[in-house]
Structure 1
Amino acid sequence: MGTSGTAPLRAVFFDRDGTLIHDVPYNADPARVRPMPHARESLQRLRSHGIPIGVLSNQSGVGRGILTTAEVDAVNNRIEQLLGPLDLWIICPHIPADRCSCRKPAPGMVLQACSTLGVSPSETALIGDIGSDMEAARISGARGILVPTPVTRAAEVEAALDVAVDLEAAVDLLLKAAAAGTAP
């Protein structure tokens, strides 16, 4: 998509499971964390441009009583050990039936991240692997870039405005738009 305009790219948000790391459902074990291809390098490229990066992740295992927040934090700490420091983590612990405003596809986590960093959603992008990530980006006014995995549904790929083959290609799209002076 790349909304035309002059807004700079001021932050990039990532989904966690299936985007930055291989998805291990309800993972409570930091030893099971495996980064996706190009994850560390892609994050480092954004850091080298001075662009804040954060993770926005639905973690319904907490609300279901399958995970504790300490276990989620331990997995997140392992991710930072492997991928480097992240500027922010926002986790939604709710189950879908809670109908909270933070659980993707709701825009709450994107809006909270923008508020925390003092940026407008139009100056940000959300990179994720499923349609709910793209919907959260769209509703909030951020750019969404879908990086499909084998679990991404064909309809989600077709509906996405921007699709990249991997994290490296997604970051390329954002940095090229930033260099061209167009909004994310």
Structure 2
Amino acid sequence: MLGKIHLLEGCMDKAVEVYKKAVEFSPENTELHTTLGLLYLQLGFYQKAFEHLGNALSYDPTNYKAILAAGSMMQTHGDFDVALTKYRAVACNVPESAPLWNNIGMCFFGKKKYVAAISCLKRANYLAPFDWKILHNLGLVHLAMQQYASAFHFLSAAINFQPKMGELYMLL
């Protein structure tokens, strides 16, 4: 609970220290490993993040948060096929996850399969219509397909939710 309080207050470093101590006392707790891995991922410590996410998956291979985060890391490094394999495992357990479909859509975008990307991103948008990241990604894919009216629609919607993000205006 102390780690969660630090996160709510925005003290990431203190939260990491608390979760590190908690993992020492309970090394088989997958939720603690997953949370610590996600914190390291946000801070940019990818090796430590991958280590803790791997520990979480070794104790619980169906932990969808850890699988999703590990797949996201692989996706970031351009390994789209391995990430899609990870996401396939998550889709069986949690088929109604907007972040999952967003990541699957961006994997297809990375593989230049734009129609599949739009299909997955539309499903993510259906599941989370107020998520600006999904709207941003839909605008990005439509731009790549030279469908400018659709890109304008999604980017404008994303700007309404995130008006201080300069990248959205640049894409618009």
TM-score (norm 2): 0.29
Quick check: which one's strand share is greater?
Answer: 1
Q: Looking at both structures, which has the greater relative contact order when contacts are Cα pairs under 8 Å and sequence separation is at least 6?
A: 1
Quick check: which one's helix share is greater?
Answer: 2
Radius of gyration: which is bigger? 2
TM-score (norm 1): 0.28
